[in-house]
Chain A
Amino acid sequence: MTKDLTVKTSLSTIGSSVVGRSLKCRFRQAKHLILGIGLLSVAACGPLISLGNDGPADDIYTLRYPGQVGAASPTGPIIFVNSPIMAEGLDGRGVPVHLENERRTSLEGASWSVHLGDLVRDYVVRALSAQTTANMISEGGLDIKAQCRLGIKVWSMEYVPGAVSGDDRVELAMQMSLVRLSDSVLLDHPTFTQTVAVGSDSNAAVIEGFRTAMQATAIDYSKWISAHMDGCI
C-alpha cells in the first residue's frame, strides 16, 4: 500500500515539472514579442522626438560673490537663510528676459549653471558672511540651532531690453524678511531694488549686469542685517 502511494507521488511531480517548463517558454516568447513591438513603435515616432538642439551649445554662467569666504564669528548670531522663493518664470536655468507687452523669454545662447534660486541663495550667504559678523547657514546646516531665519522673495531679476542698445538694463527687486525664531517675531522685511545699465550687445555684458546688480544689492542688505542682527539674540 505504501509503495503504491510513493509511485503515484513521483509520477505527479514529473508531470507538473513538464507543464511548468512549457509555460515559462511561452511567457519568454510573449515578452520578446512585446519588446519587439515597442521598439518598432519608438522607431516609428522618431521624427516626433527631439533629443536636443542641433545648434551651438549655450554658454554656462554662474553668479559667485567676488569677496572672500567669511570666517565664523563667535559673537554674531546664527542666521538660517531660506531658499529664495522666485517670482513666476524666474526660477530656472534660463536667463530671464522681460520683453514689452509683459512677454517673458530667456536669453539665447546663455544659461545659468544651476537654477537661479540656488545661485541667489549661495550669493546671499557668502555676501552676508563676508560683510557682517553674523554666522550664515543654509542648506547643510542640520543640527545647528539658529537664532534667526532670513526669508528671501525675488520679485524681479531679469534682463530688460530697451528700444535701443543703450537703454538695456538689468532689474533686480529682492524682499527679505528677518524673523527671530525664539518667539517668531518679524524684525523687519525691506525690499532692495537695483537697476543696472547693460554695457553692450552681448550675453557677457548682460551677465555682467546681473553681477553688478547683485553686488550693489549685497551692500544694502548687509548694512540692513548688521543693523538688525542684535534683535536675534
Chain B
Amino acid sequence: METRASHVLVGSFVLAFLAGILGFGIWIANVDLRAEYRDYDIYFDGTVSGLYKRSIVYYSGIPVGDVRDITLDPNDTQKVKVWVRLKADIPVTEGARARLEFQGLTGVAYVEIKGGPRGGAQLEPFHDQLRAVIEAEASTYQAVFDSAPNLLNEAIRAIVQIQKLLSDENILSVSKVLKNADQLTANLARGTTDIDAMVAEARAVLVKATAAADNISRLADTGNAILETDGARLVQEAVLTLQAATTTINRIDSLVAANGENVTQFISGSLPEVSRMIIDLRATAQSLSRLMKKLEKDPADLIFGGKESKYNVKTRSAEGDEK
C-alpha cells in the first residue's frame, strides 16, 4: 500500500529549514544589515608590511571599520593606497589623520584614525575622487624604522671611534696616567707628615710675627711720644730751614733768570774750556813733577844744562863717540 505524502507540507518544511539556517548564519556572523558605511582612501608613504585586508581600523582606540583593499598608488608607486570602510556615524572631519600602528611585537598592523577638530566639516571626496582621502602621517614606529639605518650608521661610527679611543697605545697611556696618579696620591699621603711639620713651622712663625708686631707697636708708641715732644721742635726747625732754602733757591733762580744768557754762554762755552784747562793743568803738573825730580837729582844740570852729545851728520858720529 503506497504512503500518501503531502508535498505542500514537505516543501514548507524545507523552506522553513533553509530560512532557519540563513538566520542562524546571519546571527553567527553578527552582520548588521541595517548598518551604513563610508569608504575612505589613505595614502601611506613607504611600506605597510603587517597590514592585510580585513585588518581592523581604529578610531581613538575603538574599532570602527576594516581594510577593504591594499594597492599601490597608480600615480606614485612609492605610496600605498589603503581602502578602508568605516561606519558612517564616525566623525571623520577635515584635519583627520591616519597612522599605521602595530600591535605589540607581533608585527600585526592596524590603521589608527585620529579625528579632526571638533565641529569640522565631514570629509568628502573631491570632484574626480571615488572616495574621500584621509591624510596619512608617519607613526612612531615608522619614524623609528626610517631613522634606524641612520642610527645604525651613527652607532657603527661611534663604535669605530671608541675602538680608536681604546687603542693599545691609549690604553697604555691611561695606564701610565693611572700609575702616576697612584704615585702622586702615595706621595701626598707620605707628604702629610711634611705638611704637618710645615703647619707647625708656620704656627711658630705666626707666633714670632705676633711678637714682632707687638714690638713694632711699642716702637710706634715710642716714636709717637718722641714726635710729640722733640718732633714738634724738629719740624719747626726743618720748616725754618726749608724756608731759608726756598729763599736761597729763589734768589739763585732770579739771579740765573737775570743772567740767563751769560749762564748759557758759560755752560756751553767756558765749561769745555775749563775741562781743557784741567787737562792742561794735569800735563803741567806732570811737567813740574819731572822738573822737580830733575832738580832734586842734579840741580847743576838743570841750571847750566846737561852734557848732551850732538850727532853730526857729516862725521856720522855723536860727540864723545870713539872715532
Residues of A within 8 A of B (CB): 48-50, 80, 82-83, 85, 94, 97, 99, 103, 105-109, 142-146, 159, 161, 165, 181, 201-203, 205-206
Q: How large is the interface on B (under 10, 10 to 19, 20 to 34, 35 or more residues)?
A: 20 to 34
- Chain B residues with Cβ below 8 Å from A146 are 272
- Chain B residues with Cβ below 8 Å from A142 are 269, 273
With A82-B279, A99-B318, A105-B318: A181-B272 Cβ-Cβ less than 8 Å: yes
- Chain B residues with Cβ below 8 Å from A205 are 313
B313 and A145 contact, CB distance less than 8 A: no
Separation in Å of the B55 CB from the closest CB of chain A? 107
A108 and B310 contact, CB distance less than 8 A: yes
- Chain B residues with Cβ below 8 Å from A144 are 269
With A143-B270, A145-B269: A106-B310 Cβ-Cβ less than 8 Å: yes
With A82-B279, A143-B265, A161-B316: A108-B304 Cβ-Cβ less than 8 Å: no
B310 and A143 contact, CB distance less than 8 A: no
A105 and B311 contact, CB distance less than 8 A: yes
- Chain A residues with Cβ below 8 Å from B318 are 97, 99, 103, 105
B273 and A106 contact, CB distance less than 8 A: no
- Chain A residues with Cβ below 8 Å from B268 are 145
Which of the residues A48, A80, A82, A105 comes within 8 Å of B310, measured between beta carbons? A105
CA distance A50 to B306 in the complex (A): 12
User: Using a Cβ cutoff of 8 Å, how many contacts connect chains A and B?
Assistant: 59
CA distance A82 to B283 in the complex (A): 12
Q: Is B196 an interface residue, CB under 8 A from the partner? A: no
With A108-B310, A143-B269: A50-B316 Cβ-Cβ less than 8 Å: no
What residue in chain A is nearest B314 (Cβ atoms)? A201
CA distance A136 to B312 in the complex (A): 38
A203 and B313 contact, CB distance less than 8 A: yes
The 5 nearest A-B residue pairs measured at CB: A108-B310, A143-B269, A97-B311, A108-B312, A105-B311
Which of the residues B283, B309, B313 comes within 8 Å of A206, measured between beta carbons? B313
Name the residue among B276, B279, B319 with the largest chain A CB count within 10 angstroms. Answer: B276
What residue in chain A is nearest B266 (Cβ atoms)? A143
Sample (18) of A-B pairs whose CB atoms are under 8 Å apart: A49-B304, A80-B276, A82-B279, A83-B280, A85-B283, A94-B308, A97-B311, A99-B311, A107-B311, A108-B319, A109-B310, A145-B268, A145-B269, A161-B311, A161-B316, A165-B316, A181-B272, A202-B313
- Chain B residues with Cβ below 8 Å from A108 are 310-313, 319
- Chain A residues with Cβ below 8 Å from B313 are 107-108, 161, 201-203, 205-206
What residue in chain B is nearest A91 (Cβ atoms)? B287
B316 and A105 contact, CB distance less than 8 A: no
Interface 0/1 of B272-289, CB less than 8 Å to A = 110010011001000000
Separation in Å of the A91 CB from the closest CB of chain B? 10
Separation in Å of the A163 CB from the closest CB of chain B? 9
Which of the residues A48, A106, A161 comes within 8 Å of B308, measured between beta carbons? A106
Separation in Å of the A152 CB from the closest CB of chain B? 13
- Chain A residues with Cβ below 8 Å from B319 are 108
Separation in Å of the A115 CB from the closest CB of chain B? 12
- Chain B residues with Cβ below 8 Å from A106 are 308, 310-311
What residue in chain B is nearest A181 (Cβ atoms)? B272
What residue in chain B is nearest A168 (Cβ atoms)? B313
A50 and B304 contact, CB distance less than 8 A: yes
CA distance A50 to B308 in the complex (A): 14
Separation in Å of the A218 CB from the closest CB of chain B? 24
B316 and A201 contact, CB distance less than 8 A: yes
What residue in chain A is nearest B316 (Cβ atoms)? A161
- Chain A residues with Cβ below 8 Å from B311 are 97, 99, 105-108, 159, 161
What residue in chain B is nearest A151 (Cβ atoms)? B279
A145 and B272 contact, CB distance less than 8 A: yes
- Chain A residues with Cβ below 8 Å from B314 are 201-202
- Chain B residues with Cβ below 8 Å from A159 are 311
B272 and A105 contact, CB distance less than 8 A: no
- Chain B residues with Cβ below 8 Å from A94 are 308
CA distance A161 to B312 in the complex (A): 10
Apart from A50-B304, A107-B313, A108-B319: 17 A-B pairs, beta carbons within 8 A: A50-B305, A82-B276, A85-B283, A99-B311, A103-B318, A105-B310, A106-B308, A107-B310, A143-B270, A144-B269, A145-B268, A145-B269, A145-B272, A146-B272, A161-B316, A165-B316, A201-B314
- Chain B residues with Cβ below 8 Å from A97 are 311, 318
CA distance A82 to B312 in the complex (A): 34
- Chain B residues with Cβ below 8 Å from A50 are 304-305
A105 and B309 contact, CB distance less than 8 A: yes
Separation in Å of the B252 CB from the closest CB of chain A? 24
Separation in Å of the A90 CB from the closest CB of chain B? 14
Separation in Å of the A46 CB from the closest CB of chain B? 13
Name the residue among B269, B272, B280, B313 with the largest chain A CB count within 10 angstroms. Answer: B313
- Chain A residues with Cβ below 8 Å from B272 are 145-146, 181
CA distance A55 to B316 in the complex (A): 19
- Chain B residues with Cβ below 8 Å from A83 are 280, 283
What residue in chain A is nearest B273 (Cβ atoms)? A142
